[in-house]
Amino acid sequence: MTSGVSVLDTTLRDGAQREGISFSVQDKLCIADRLDDLGITYIEGGWPGANPKDSAFFANAISLNLRHARLVAFGATRKARMSVVEDAGIRALLQAETPAISVVGKSWLWQVLEMLGVSRAENLDMIAETVAYLKAAGREVLFDAEHFFDGYKQDPAYAMQTLAAAAQAGADFLVLCDTNGGTLPSQVTEVVQAVRMALPESAVGIHAHNDTGVAIANTLLAVEAGAVHVQGTINGYGERCGNADLCSVIPNLELKMSRPVLPAGHLVGLADVSRFVSETANLNPDEHAPYVGTSAFTHKAGLHASAMRKDGSSYQHVVPEDVGNRTRVLVSELAGRSNVAAKVKELGLSAGTPAEEQALIVKLKEMENRGYQYEGADGSFELLVRRSRPGYQAPFEVLDFMVVVEKRAANEILAEATVKARVGDQVIHTAADGMGPVNALDTAMRKAIEPFFPQLKGYHLSDFKVRIVDQKAASAALTRVLVESGNGESNWTTVGCSVNIIEASFHALIDSLELPLLRCSSAKAEAVDELAIPQAAGR
């Protein structure tokens, strides 16, 4: 059996150094818990003593009931001209009471002489004494050889001496760090092989940054060259251009290189962890990220969709479900019958007769020619299908609407919407104020129809996007509006398109309200037959 690879996740330390990320202590605890569920081998929690947040994390980490991961504290070798016993940073590492410790030390001679201002020998002593002291305290020690590849390029002999000092002191892993992220894949292979030859008894690891866009490749090639330990972050978060993305590294190792990383059956949680970390970091997920992005297994071309119906491997390199993802088929002006059939099936709807299917394709292309776009609006596409079926009856009808936006004071803008709608044989005429025209329309529509459809109270608008379709037309341009709605359990996106941004918004809003009613089999009966429901308030 192929030997496994241990993985250290440094999202809570290196990942937190990305511009725009600021994890709270509770955020870090929650992420650590999810990483443990995934089956990560080591979770690097931060640098105890470096800041109050990291110290608080380790103080509270005792509440984590870790089943798979070993918590790791990060720190540096002892300071120059100071004994290891006297160093406050070393004491903080031990006081964190983690089973494992990552110790970073200089391996680039230029940095040793110019940045630290110490001699060659003193730097080697700092490494050896720190590792030995922590090992004597019963800790597992990972030695991070900072700037190793740059150091090897300048003086390979001295860079090797720093590793040897750590190894002789008992370090469990010698981690080669591409700290500047400037090393190319072929160079990584050469250096890792050289280290393995020089220190054949030592377990070698890789810590790659992505400044040249090859951190994932460097990590995989290091493993091919003999590394048995990899480090990175979820979604590749990190300072500057980020770190090696574990959401690609892990499945590549397991599915492509047959190198076990996670406990059996845990890889299916990868996409969920990726989304959880991005949400906790308050960053939009990368929809096109390999393996875990929502578009990673999405098919738009008709030829692709047709082949996919016969064999999923025709345009997918792995089974999406293996990493917790799924196949998606988009419908657009490029769509053929295979796209539409696959998408209708995905929505759980009937494909209809061949004539109905062809009519749906014609309608789809007609709408997209008018500026609509359904590949990002599954909700409106589902409505397009439902409305094309015999027997379709709208749960409500909008007769007319009006929106007034008025400036009433120096810094006060008032928006008021008036809506006239019909439900069954009843006409409701109502109005509502809002923070803006879209909010006013949404409020007015709900005021009109919620008495008939109380289930709508559980749904709300969660996102609103505006796209100018033909920019050359300036303020007279065709506008496309996407509205995302949901109830906390499921979400859908609807689209509206018009040269009038208010009309485009209103069409998207109407779709967002109609869809959940059509999905509910009893909605029409509740609206038409239950005459005891109170009348909507008039204006």
**16-21: average pLDDT:** 94
Pair type for strands 42-46 and 298-299: unpaired
User: Would you place residue 314 in the very low, low, confident or very high pLDDT band (cuts 50, 70, 90)?
Assistant: low
Domain membership flag for residue 330:
no
Domain membership flag for residue 230:
yes
Tens-digit pLDDT profile for residues 417-453: 999 999 999 999 999 998 888 889 999 999 999 999 9
Asked if 35 and 71 count as a contact pair (C-beta separation under 8 A), the reply is: no
Residue 536: what pLDDT?
40
| Distance between CA atoms of residues 10 and 94, nearest Å | 19
Number of domains comprising the chain: 2
Pair type for strands 479-486 and 460-468: antiparallel
Q: Which two tokens stand for residue 231?
A: 């480090």
Q: What percent of the chain has pLDDT over 90?
A: 59
- Minimum mean pLDDT range among 160-174, 368-382, 467-481: 467-481
Are 259 and 402 in a shared domain? Answer: no
Residue 23: what pLDDT?
92
Domain CATH number, residue 464: 3.30.160.270
Residue 535: what pLDDT?
45
Q: How far from 431 is each of 396, 443, 451, 465, CA to CA, in Å?
A: 17, 8, 15, 24
Pair type for strands 204-208 and 229-232: parallel
Residue 522: what pLDDT?
36
Domain membership flag for residue 80:
yes
| Distance between CA atoms of residues 424 and 217, nearest Å | 62
Q: Is 504 left (phi over 0), alpha (psi -120 to 50) or beta?
A: alpha
| Distance between CA atoms of residues 274 and 341, nearest Å | 30
- Minimum mean pLDDT range among 234-238, 336-340, 411-415, 421-425: 336-340
| Residue of higher predicted confidence among 256 and 483 | 256
Domain assignment of residue 88, given as a range: 6-263
User: Would you place residue 257 in the very low, low, confident or very high pLDDT band (cuts 50, 70, 90)?
Assistant: very high
Domain membership flag for residue 30:
yes
| Distance between CA atoms of residues 305 and 313, nearest Å | 12
Query: How would DSSP label each residue in 272-320?
Result: HHHHHHHHHTT----TT-TTTSTTTTEE-SHHHHHHHHH-GGGS-SS-G
What is the reported pTM?
0.70
* Average pLDDT of the chain, as a whole number: 87
Q: Which residues pair with 104 in a beta bridge?
A: 76, 144
Domain CATH number, residue 213: 3.20.20.70
| Residue of higher predicted confidence among 169 and 526 | 169
Q: Which two tokens stand for residue 520?
A: 């509910």
Q: Is 271 exposed, middle or buried (0-12, 13-18, 19+ CB in 10 A)?
A: buried
Domain membership flag for residue 285:
no
Q: Is 85 exposed, middle or buried (0-12, 13-18, 19+ CB in 10 A)?
A: exposed
Last residue of a domain, one of 244, 263, 282: 263
Residue 526: what pLDDT?
40
Q: Which two tokens stand for residue 11?
A: 């999202």
Q: Is 191 left (phi over 0), alpha (psi -120 to 50) or beta?
A: alpha
User: Would you place residue 313 in the very low, low, confident or very high pLDDT band (cuts 50, 70, 90)?
Assistant: low
Q: Which of 68, 470, 412, 126 is nearest to 266 (CA)?
A: 68
**Residue 331, CA atoms < 13 Å, CB-side half-sphere:** 31
pLDDT at 366 over 60: yes
Domain membership flag for residue 190:
yes
Domain membership flag for residue 348:
no
| Distance between CA atoms of residues 34 and 15, nearest Å | 15
Asked if 227 and 204 count as a contact pair (C-beta separation under 8 A), the reply is: yes
| Distance between CA atoms of residues 387 and 348, nearest Å | 15
E strand or H helix at 420: strand 412-423
Angle, vertex CA 323, rays to CA 317 and CA 329, nearest 5:
60
Last residue of a domain, one of 231, 263, 295: 263
Quickly tell me which residue has 């380790």 as its tokens: 58
| Distance between CA atoms of residues 75 and 133, nearest Å | 13
Domain membership flag for residue 295:
no
**Continuous H helices in 19-119:** 25-38, 52-60, 88-95, 109-110
Q: Long-range pairs for 497-503 at CB < 8 Å and ≥24 separation?
A: 497/370, 497/371, 497/372, 497/373, 497/469, 501/466, 502/403, 502/437, 502/438, 502/441
Q: Which of 127, 111, 226 is nearest to 171 (CA)?
A: 127
Last residue of a domain, one of 218, 235, 263: 263
3-state secondary structure of 481: strand
Q: How many CB atoms are located within 10 Å of the residue 292 CB?
A: 26
Contacts of 82 (CB under 8 A, 6+ apart): none
Q: How many CB atoms are located within 10 Å of the residue 3 CB?
A: 7
| Distance between CA atoms of residues 384 and 361, nearest Å | 10
Residue 310: what pLDDT?
54
Tens-digit pLDDT profile for residues 511-531: 999 988 888 753 343 444 443
Quickly tell me which residue has 């014609």 as its tokens: 362
Quickly tell me which residue has 């992420």 as its tokens: 31
Are 251 and 106 in a shared domain? Answer: yes
Tens-digit pLDDT profile for residues 25-78: 999 999 999 999 999 999 999 999 888 999 999 999 988 989 999 999 999 999
